[in-house]
Structure 1
């Protein structure tokens, strides 16, 4: 039985099938995302969603969906599905679905009377093109297939409505047409691998609704333009391939291209392979630049997310070259930032105070995957440059105090990963001495000192040792309280006693100012108050302001974002910390914790992990459908476990 297979019973039950989504990307920023019954429930959903850099820095939905109709003896059976006002779904094509399987590529099998038809979708790597292959497995009489494209040509952050400005003109191409609704957009080429008839019957389908946007407190309806439909004969045993892209394609090559792309996919036949496939989807190659997208469908390349994700998305799946490619781009961004020159690449939030420290942590993982000598040879100058930039107080919001701790102003702008804001102000104004920033700082000092200990930079290493010694003593004096856990941040007389997960990094990192007993006390508090099957809570239920459900309007969700919701990526550091304390005896516990994430492979975004979960049962997945840091950290822990099990 397939690892990711859904039968007819689930597929025809929209309460079960609509919450399950699928995501496919081309590793260059474009994607296809919808539900497993091909009913779009978000404004971000679409068959072909691509960046259009000539317009802006957003993705744009060109082809929203494609309705298939099976025609036999003049009778039409429409396999499409859309939601309209009043909770009305039409044309209810999901009732013909027999099963859905996405082990290698998404495959939907339909049964209409004596007709059995499969639909397979694949995104061409590094090209803005989606291919759909229809295969008629069985039919007792002549069969036609009609394909009706629903066009949007709009940003993922807006909607389109019926208007007179939309261009209805089209031009015939090889076995298809090309069209463009608005100036500035690329032309959309829709072609089939065999001759067909295109029937030009332009119309707007009005009032299509997106319930996920309604849940999130946004506008949720739009109109989509349908220029007509393609009609093609299909025989029993025959396959027909449909292509949608922004350039013309040789239709003779469509079948071969489809088969090549399918063969290039790793089957999602296990928990690990699901995560590995998902990891690949965050890669975004633009020319010579290699990025890591923070998540789908709305995140861009954010510096902190990139560095936290990088080891898990590359080294943990034995793709060291990909790590080096991304780091090559990141290194340019770091140099641009440090030298106060314009950024050459599109990496956002480089100026957040913990970003450079997370970059050091990522390189530390590279050193463990290779050798310290290789890391020093390849990235030694970069590491030295980062440490000196901070030590010389050149960062505009990272101030090294005489006590050896780093001070950050977070009153007016959110400066850590807990970055939710409302009305222009941080929801959690973490400011002053922030616990994970200083844990990162101590870890960075010790790591860089160790790799420079021998050779020409021994004096530099000794200076870092001295700095680390002062930092360690101050860290314990400032953060550790009489209850055995760590304060989240301290600013003068202001001490945040909230039990938050940020203290777990001090236990997880290779270098820590805490001794073993102190680490265990921190781990025990985190286990008792923050641990859930889906990650660590961002706030303890015993702390004031606990708000575990990420629901409601944008403001309501912003207020709940880091006030009790559970985050899977934190679980990676928690499990690493647990293994540091309990070693081999902790293996079975860590393996049991991973079960909660394997359960998610058939929920939410199939084969991936969402951004966050509610902090209370039933721990429902929320936010972005696929989140890079979550995938990365679970993969990193699986790699760590494999070393213990050798």
Structure 2
């Protein structure tokens, strides 16, 4: 904790169900513009999150001497104050808990984010002290979008009003009031000032502007006795101070422990849950800058719900996602907050999602609940109603991706896709073959023999054309084929044709594809997006935005792809690959103590030491590791 080179790399994320969050490093020094003690959506302004309360500095006062426990980085690599030097212990098994020692004073800080309110709660307990002790709390306010910075200005309102055991204030029109209250009576001293030149090194690394000024309206001061606990609450709504202690205790009791790998991932899975208007349920694609995206939702849903025995939430999210997909297919205005629902592979991933549900619930139950949805999607594709998904006479799906990114490899540079995947795209057609066969299985349960026959014929045509089009003489699959253009790059998208329950490949072909993935793409953090032997390999996701855009899918490693790779291994080799898969999983277990604690980053460098990059927590990665964990259990315990 006292070594900033180590501690500033580790972040801590706490969320609620509205999309609000609290995030910083484990020493409470903000290193990203996305960091903040209270970060909330403000739909009246835009669809971004906004940092209201950036941080809270606590000062211990004894015998007139002041010891500030805060930590901020200023320009010139200058840290002030240096409160991290007082940290003696840190633990986050249940809730993040920091123990500070200042001379004879032992002060414990615990943090929880309220589940269904935009409210952060901090409990300070004076564990030990040999003389009278005073605590001083100095709030740093930002009131800005997570994508911007704030600087000293004359428009910021300095007005505040006293409320029970605290104040409320709002720096700019359009923002909600920020309530800062304590469980104990205190004295607020109004000493408004701007703290100038606070710097965020993570933004520097990414080639962005990196400094801002934060407004401090004053400080709260109160005495504290040995053994006494004081609760601080920052929120967009007022709370009765007398409720704060019981509220904090209640929130702590509801927290799942993060005492092992699985519990960390389950906790991370819950952080993606979002509840919005009309009680619609969503899955956030990740933190800190992601929204709800359609493809991510369908790929993540089985791992984040079914793999941890939370079927109820699976149905709630499916209800919202199905509504959105039907609105898109029927060309109606979208009433759900899911982006990129128009991407051509989204309906096909929706079928894969339902397929995962049927593995536990059986085909009959699935046919009753989701059978019509699956057949409607297949009919929609066959009838050619999707604006960018054409079913050709050879049984394959064709999509135009020359001018826009239409697959999960979606990075753009200078207005064009970095990886312009177009034509017959390998995973689109693996998904289509799988969808045809699965829909036929559901139709068979329903007794619709005519539909079964039609779908089986289409699947056989698709299978023959798939092998003809994608399988090359070197034993792996072309990434896409568009007329005379054939992409020979070794990419991970071919692994889906091996991992899906219904594959157009025979056993020998599957093994050939998997061997190439193992030799050229496999890392301890998932599959590389491009083989080192292919042209344009760029495995390090660092530097300015354009540099990172060109590296995004050109060699970086993705854990969620590793999930499909491990599923393919288990399907092909059964129990003989169990120990190999278990060793692969260790690579993710290590991640629980790095980057954002207890979750998995968006992507990793494709070369050692495989540093985590991008977003601090990514839904598809957490989901696929959880789904693999469940598959491992299935193969371990089967007779």
Same structural fold, with TM-score higher than 0.5 when normalized by the shorter chain: yes
**Secondary structure class of the residue paired with 1:38:** coil
Q: Compute the RMSD of aligned alpha carbons.
A: 0.6
The two structures have a TM-score, normalised by structure 1, of 0.98
Indicate whether 1:519 and 2:516 are aligned: no
What TM-score does the superposition give when structure 2 sets the normalisation length?
0.99
Q: 1:454 offset after TM fit, Å?
A: 3.4
Structure 2 partner of 1:309: 300
Distance 1:133 1:642 in 2: 39
Task: Classify the secondary structure of the residue corresponding to 2:305.
Answer: helix
Q: Show the 5 A alignment for 1:283-322.
A: 283-287=273-277, 288-322=279-313
Cα distance in structure 2, aligned partners of 1:614 and 1:576 = 23
The reply on whether 1:504 has 2:507 as its aligned counterpart is no
CA distance in structure 1 between the partners assigned to 2:222 and 2:13 by the alignment: 28
Partner of 2:249: 259
Q: 1:593 aligns with which of 584, 594, 603?
A: 584
Aligned residues: 636
User: Is the aligned partner of 1:222 residue 2:212?
Assistant: yes
Cα separation, 1, equivalents of 2:591 and 2:445: 47
Match of 1:71 among 56, 61, 71: 61
Pick from 175, 192, 197: which aligns with 1:202? 192
Provide the C-alpha distance between the structure 1 equivalents of 2:482 and 2:89, rounded to a whole number of angstroms: 58
State yes or no: 1:632 paired with 2:605: no
Query: Structure 2: how far apart are the matches of 1:529 and 1:264?
Result: 44
- Of the three residues 371, 384, 395, the one matched with 2:375 is 384
Give the Cα separation in 2 of the matches to 1:639 and 1:466.
34
Which residue is equivalent to 1:138?
128
Q: Paired residue for 1:28, among 18, 21, 25?
A: 18
The reply to whether residue 234 of structure 1 matches residue 230 of structure 2 is no
* Pairing partner for 2:413 from 422, 435, 459: 422
Match of 1:248 in 2: 238
Mean Cα displacement is larger for which, 460-469 or 168-177? 460-469
State the 1:643 CA deviation.
Answer: 1.1
Q: For residues 6 and 89 of structure 2, what CA distance do their matches in structure 1 show?
A: 14
Q: Does structure 1 residue 350 correspond to structure 2 residue 341?
A: yes
Please say if 1:557 is aligned against 2:548: yes
1:459 Cα deviation (Å)?
1.3
1:534 corresponds, among 521, 525, 538, to 525
Matches within 5 A, 1:102-501: 102-287=92-277, 288-501=279-492
Matches of 1:303 and 1:598, distance apart in 2? 28
Cα drift, residue 458 of structure 1: 2.3
CA–CA separation in structure 2 for the residues paired with 1:423 and 1:282: 31
2:560 aligned partner:
569
Residue 603 of structure 1 pairs with residue 630 of structure 2: no
Instruction: Report what 1:7 is aligned to.
Output: none
Cα distance in structure 2, aligned partners of 1:183 and 1:102: 37
Deviation per CA, 1:598-622: give whole Å up to 9, x if none: 0110000000100000000011110
Q: CA deviation at 1:456?
A: 4.7
- Greater shift after overlay, 555-564 or 377-386? 377-386
Structure 1: distance between partners of 2:360 and 2:144 = 43
SS of corresponding position for 2:444: coil
Decide which moves more: 370-379 or 340-349. 370-379
Q: What CA distance in whole angstroms lies between the structure 1 residues aligned with 2:500 and 2:92?
A: 37
Instruction: Show CA shifts across 1:239-297 (max 9, x none).
Output: 00000000000111101010111110110000000000000000111131101011100
Shift of 1:432: 0.3
1:306 counterpart SS class? helix
Contact 2:305–2:311 (8 Å) recurs in 1: yes
Q: Cα deviation per residue 1:124-149 (whole Å; 9 max; x = unaligned)? A: 00210000000110000011111110
- The DSSP-based 3-state class of the residue aligned with 1:453 is helix
After superposition, the C-alpha distances for 1:451-494 in whole angstroms (9 at most, x for unaligned) are 11133522112211111110000000000000000000000110
CA distance in 2, matches of 1:380, 1:250: 50
Secondary structure of 1:365's counterpart equals helix
In the alignment, the residues of structure 2 paired with residue 356 and residue 133 of structure 1 have an alpha-carbon distance, to the nearest angstrom, of 47
Shift of 1:374: 1.2
Structure 2 distance, partners of 1:459, 1:177, is 70
Confirm or deny: 8 A CA contact 2:367 2:445 kept in the other structure.
no
Following the alignment from structure 2 to structure 1, what is the Cα–Cα distance between the partners of residues 359 and 304?
15
CA separation in 1, counterparts of 2:449 and 2:356? 22
Structure 2: distance between partners of 1:147 and 1:634: 41
Moved over 3 A (4+): none
Contact 2:363–2:445 (CA under 8 A) maintained in structure 1: no
Give deviations 1:335-355, integer Å, cap 9, x for gaps. Answer: 110011111110000000101
| Partner SS, residue 197 of structure 2 | strand
Secondary structure of residue in 1 paired with 2:609: coil
Q: Secondary structure at the match of 1:514?
A: coil
Match of 2:633 among 604, 628, 642: 642
Question: Which whole-Å CA distance do the structure 2 matches of 1:461 and 1:188 have between them?
Answer: 60
Shift of 1:369: 2.0
Aligned: 1:578 with 2:594: no
SS in 1 for 2:577: helix
Q: What are the equivalent positions in structure 2 for 1:57-96 lying under 5 Å apart?
A: 57-96=47-86
Structure 1 gaps, min length 5: 1-10
Partner deviation per Cα, 1:398-437 (whole Å, 9 max, x = no partner): 0000000000100000000000000110000000000000
